[in-house]
Amino acid sequence: MSDWSIQHEGMDPTQGRVMRALLLLGTGLLLATLIVSYGPVNTASAHVNSAHLVTAGSRVGSAPADSTFGALQLGVTDNPGTICAYDLASCAAGVGESRVTLSANAGGSGFLAWPDVQVAFVVETTSYDGVYDPSAGDPGTDPCVATTGYLCEESNGVPFFVAHAQDIANAISAANPHSHVTFAMVDYFASLDQFDDGDGSEYHVDIQQFVASADFGGAVTSTFQAQVLGGGWVYSDSDLSDNQLHSSVITAMYGTIIGSGLTWANDTHHVIVWMGSTCPRDPDCVVNYCVSASDYAGSPGCATSPTCEPSYTFLNGASPKCEGWVRSQDGNVNDSIAQLAKTSPSCTDSVGGVCTVDAIDLWTTPTDPLSKGWPTGRANGGPGGSAVVSNVQHILLAGCDIAAATGGTWDGPSFFTCPSGQQGTLQYVPHGPATKPNLNNPTLLIAFRQIGFGPVLETQVASGSNRPIFTFVPFGHIAFAPDLQPSQQCQRHGANLKGCAAPKLYLEGGVHFIGWNWSSNKSQNAMFVGDSWTASFNVMATGGPFTTVPLHACITVACKAAGSTAVNGFYSSASFVPFTNNSITTESFPLALITVQLTPTVSPAGAPPPPPPPAPPGFPVVAPTAVGVPQQIGIGNQVGVANISLQAASAGFLGAGFVRVQLKNKPVAMRVAAKSGTITSKFDSASAKQGTSVGRFE
């Protein structure tokens, strides 16, 4: 069969793409059949990062100046809505305390953003990835070496990565302007089996410490290029006596995920970007070496690649024997790379709770069924042969599946589309001479720029600042009850989150209030679309007016109409940083009312209200804040609610509130047994002397 490769025969790119698609869907190896044989594909989690849909040069996350993105829907309720004053239960309401519940729901569109992201590149270095060493003298049976001196359809992926590492880091950072991104690097290729001459690395860490994007290019040059590529562009002794259709990718991914030799941090989201063109050693990814240009194509047992990844001993433990790719092959459901990305402590303890894997399959002979690099004269081999098509499908589907199973993105040759719908965008770029490779590959740069940081599930609405996100400021004679009984709940996707922050008591500007954050972990103190927060606690009334009054200090129009306002500049609010800008936004909680009743025997009608309660002991006093207009809540001296008793404060409140009133007996005439005759009082005799009676004293 003639060679249909675009770069060799000058075929129109559209025609070449159609031919490859027809071959991949034809020859009796339908895509649907391969999906079944390869195992279930988690298409539900195969989300495309919003950045993947943005054209080069556009600004991700930009919004109009009047955008309402990031708004929190706030609510306040009290139950019961009527209470007795002074924490008594002797008025008509029959209860002296009310349970207040604050709520906040994150709505709007939000922004796809992670606060801090660590990206680890896992770079494959087989011969066809772009590091072939022609001086090694083992060209196998590749048809192009004899005439050109280098391999057929050898990708320039690795030389491009080295030359443009800085551009790649800059592009990823620019595509995610709301995330602080740092980078590390790992390389690998060797399988050390019957298709490998025994040299090369199965897992090698190049950049251990995650470095800022501005430093990544220099780090790649000083480590990977200088130490692995010998300062040039080839991997010494890399030739066709080494594995080329399968590799130690499972070992490399395992070591990267668990962080062997890497400095993953718990307060970041972990992303792995894999670049290569081989199959893992897995039963669902068997490749046929008999149709390849390998030195071992004619050796016994050449028919298929091994299906079991050997155990590898890392710095922090050994991997299981026969670790799977997207599903286990040893009966333990956790023994696969896809599951490891969800269960490894390095992933579950990250901000995202998982490790995201983005896959890039290079356009090279192992991923092109029409490449001249598939020798003719082999059974079911040669360009377009059925065994060749099967090899290519297995390799490309493996990349699709690991991305889909971990919520990452995939990119590869433009003629191929993953079952998830992600379509390849890469065009082939010839490698050129080994010592002077072609260092340009525009579509590969775009593919790196468009990697994803995870499924579109975490659209950030609001993050914390240097103050509590939520605050409650009592108004008038509403005060915190002696037994506060605080509780709080943070929910994401309907599930309770660990680390939901407990309340703290604050004193600032002479005002006592309670404050909460979303999370007790500073790096996770951010709400995303769909998140909900509630907090409950008890309040009481330490005085009048004995009517319906505002429950708390707030500044909405309804609040002001009901008589509530800020107290020394403070009010109940949500204070956060929206992703529309980097300025703190403060939203007032809405109006809530409560009715205060007076116990009849406590104080006569019309009695003046008791003086304000003294400041409860236990709060450190700070200098007051100058107040001109209502201001955002700032953090003053704070005391954890769990560590302070409000009994002393309660005694002060109640001591100031109780008024004891004693009524004397009314003076009236009364009979005394010791006297005789008419019994009268001295008031009666005085009245008789004056004449007309002026009435009795009653």
β-partners of residue 119 are 183, 271
Q: Is 277 helix (H, G, I), strand (E, B) or coil?
A: coil
Residue-wise DSSP of 646-683: -HHHHHHHHHHH------PPPP-----TT--S----HH
With contact defined as beta carbons under 8 Å apart, do 468 and 60 qualify?
no
Peptide bond between residue 545 and the one before it cis (omega within 30 degrees of 0): yes
Q: Mean per-residue pLDDT for 134-141? A: 94
> Higher-confidence residue: 620 or 527?
527
With contact defined as beta carbons under 8 Å apart, do 569 and 583 qualify?
no
Q: Is 181 helix (H, G, I), strand (E, B) or coil?
A: strand
Most distant CA atoms of the chain, gap in Å = 152
Confidence at residue 576, expressed as pLDDT on a 0 to 100 scale: 86
What count of residues does the chain have? Answer: 698
β-partners of residue 480 are 539
Confidence at residue 41, expressed as pLDDT on a 0 to 100 scale: 29
Spatial distance between the Cα atoms of 94 and 83, rounded to a whole number of angstroms: 7
**Is the pLDDT assigned to residue 602 strictly greater than 80?**
no
Confidence at residue 610, expressed as pLDDT on a 0 to 100 scale: 57
Lowest mean pLDDT among 205-219, 412-426, 444-458: 444-458
**Is the pLDDT assigned to residue 457 strictly greater than 90?**
no
pLDDT by residue (tens digit) across 493-518?
A: 788 988 899 999 999 989 999 999 99
Q: Mean per-residue pLDDT for 203-214? A: 98
Confidence at residue 627, expressed as pLDDT on a 0 to 100 scale: 32
Instruction: Identify the band that residue 609 occupies on the pLDDT scale cut at 50, 70 and 90.
Output: low
pLDDT by residue (tens digit) across 86-131?
A: 999 999 999 999 999 999 998 765 666 677 899 999 999 999 999 9
CA-nearest of 556, 540, 493, 486 to 514 is 486
CA-nearest of 615, 611, 589, 595 to 658 is 611
The proportion of the chain whose per-residue pLDDT surpasses 90, expressed as a percent, equals 62
Where would I find the H helices in 362-508?
A: 386-406, 442-449
Residues with Cβ < 8 Å from 448, sequence gap 6 or more?
168, 171, 172, 273, 360
Q: Mean per-residue pLDDT for 449-463? A: 76
Rounded to the nearest 10 degrees, what angle do helices 31-38 and 386-406 cross at? 60
**Is the pLDDT assigned to residue 673 strictly greater than 70?**
no
Strands 72-79 and 548-550, by their bridges, are unpaired
Spatial distance between the Cα atoms of 180 and 100, rounded to a whole number of angstroms: 38
Q: Mean per-residue pLDDT for 11-38? A: 44
What residue ranges do the domains of the chain occupy? 6-58+112-449, 72-110+465-657
Find how far residue 167's CA is from the centre of its chain: 26
Q: String of b and e for 327-358 (b: at least 16 CB within 10 Å)?
A: bbbeeeeebbbbbbbbebebbeebbbbbbbbb
With contact defined as beta carbons under 8 Å apart, do 322 and 306 qualify?
no
Confidence at residue 639, expressed as pLDDT on a 0 to 100 scale: 46
Spatial distance between the Cα atoms of 488 and 504, rounded to a whole number of angstroms: 12
The proportion of the chain whose per-residue pLDDT surpasses 70, expressed as a percent, equals 73
Instruction: Identify the band that residue 633 occupies on the pLDDT scale cut at 50, 70 and 90.
Output: very low
Spatial distance between the Cα atoms of 530 and 509, rounded to a whole number of angstroms: 35
Lowest mean pLDDT among 34-48, 157-171, 553-567, 589-603: 34-48
Tell me yes or no: is domain 72-110+465-657 CATH 2.60.40.740. Answer: yes
With contact defined as beta carbons under 8 Å apart, do 177 and 233 qualify?
no
Instruction: Identify the band that residue 21 occupies on the pLDDT scale cut at 50, 70 and 90.
Output: low
Q: What phi, psi does 86 have (nearest 5°)?
A: 65, 25
Q: CB neighbours (10 Å) of residue 628? A: 6
Confidence at residue 103, expressed as pLDDT on a 0 to 100 scale: 95
Residues with Cβ < 8 Å from 273, sequence gap 6 or more?
119, 120, 121, 122, 357, 358, 360, 448, 451
pTM: predicted TM-score of the whole model, two decimal places? 0.61
Instruction: Identify the band that residue 372 occupies on the pLDDT scale cut at 50, 70 and 90.
Output: very high
> Higher-confidence residue: 676 or 378?
378
**Is the pLDDT assigned to residue 655 strictly greater than 60?**
no
Confidence at residue 114, expressed as pLDDT on a 0 to 100 scale: 73
pLDDT by residue (tens digit) across 265-292?
A: 988 999 999 999 999 999 999 999 999 9
